[in-house]
Amino acid sequence: MRWSRFAAVVLLVACVTLMLTGSTSANRKFTLRLPWIINSQFAGVYVALDKGFFAEEGIDLEVRPGGIDKNSITLVAAGADDFGLHDAGSLIMARRQGMPLKAVAAFFQKHPGGLMMLKSSGITQPKDLIGKRLGYQEGGPFTLVKAMFEKEGVPLNKVKLVSVKYDISPLLTGQIDAMTVYVTSEPVTAEEKGFEVTTILPYDYGIKTFSEVLFTRDKIIAEHPDVVRGMVRALRRGWEYAINNREEAIEILSKYDKTIDKKREMGQLVREIPLMITEDTKKHGLGFMSREGWSQVQEIFYAQGQLDKKIDIDTVFTTEFLGLK
């Protein structure tokens, strides 16, 4: 009898401890940190949240916008958030720095970093930039543009580099001939101002890297694999719905930030969708990743000096939760 009472007390203490620590998936709230402020780039996330797709997976999720001082990689690595979205190259560099982060799905198969020119410039391919003025910001799209130039035989010293800010005015006023941009965003701004523009995407020239990568800590994967799998499924459903119901997706987005310009966000969403759909995603589903793809990203960043030493690429991603056949 005394043993039965003791066992009952132990069981009661264990249950209370679980309730207080939230160590099980069922009674724990999870967070997803975005890499930037609310915009169409995350339409699939907010559709999944609004439609209850995360809840249907048993996940109590809070979506937290990012910003200049809210980096999803550092916040997830530090344990302040559970999941995050970011680009593949940055995750490889984070792993090289010892951060225990791992990618579980990649929703933008083509990184949107590239070049924008006025249509009147006549620039349509990388070699056309020889002797031209290129406005750039370090990192991001410029890394991919440099890799594209190298692959296409365009010597960087034959291009007139001009350091610029994120304002596209220098291009619109003729101070530069081309500018590094995200092809899903700045072109929309230019067209709103009445300018016809063209873009060049490094991905189309063999610089194949990706973004909007869902990642988490190794510990989350080990302790809550059910949640990780549910996150991937819910985000897939969210993006599939957003792709097929674009206007509703933007309306849903506006519920979470009433200040957004719906017309502008639609313009961006229209440009983002082609970056998500490839032959691989048609065959395997949204979020597809492969070892070959991750290896290519590492080679690009290593060749461009963004990575001082290569890592074991298998440590930075897993396809376990994609349901690949």
pLDDT along the chain (325 residues), means of 10: 32 34 66 98 98 98 96 98 98 98 98 98 98 94 97 98 96 98 98 98 97 98 98 98 98 98 98 97 97 97 96 98 84
Q: What does the CA dihedral 150, 156, 162, 166 come to, rounded to 10 degrees?
A: 10
Q: Do both 186 and 237 map to the same domain?
A: no
Q: What does the CA dihedral 170, 175, 181, 186 come to, rounded to 10 degrees?
A: 40
Separation CA 161–CA 166 (nearest Å): 15
Bridge partners of 52?
none
**In this predicted structure, what is the pLDDT of residue 27?**
66
Q: Do both 144 and 229 map to the same domain?
A: no
pTM of the complete model = 0.91
Among 60, 69, 108, 68, residue whose Cα is nearest residue 85: 108
CATH number at residue 6: 3.40.190.10
**In this predicted structure, what is the pLDDT of residue 107?**
98
Domain boundary (174, 205, 236) is at 205
Q: Do both 153 and 263 map to the same domain?
A: no
Strand 113-118 relative to strand 178-182, pairing: antiparallel
* Total count of domains within the chain: 2
**In this predicted structure, what is the pLDDT of residue 3?**
29
**In this predicted structure, what is the pLDDT of residue 187?**
98
Range of the domain at 286: 2-110+209-315
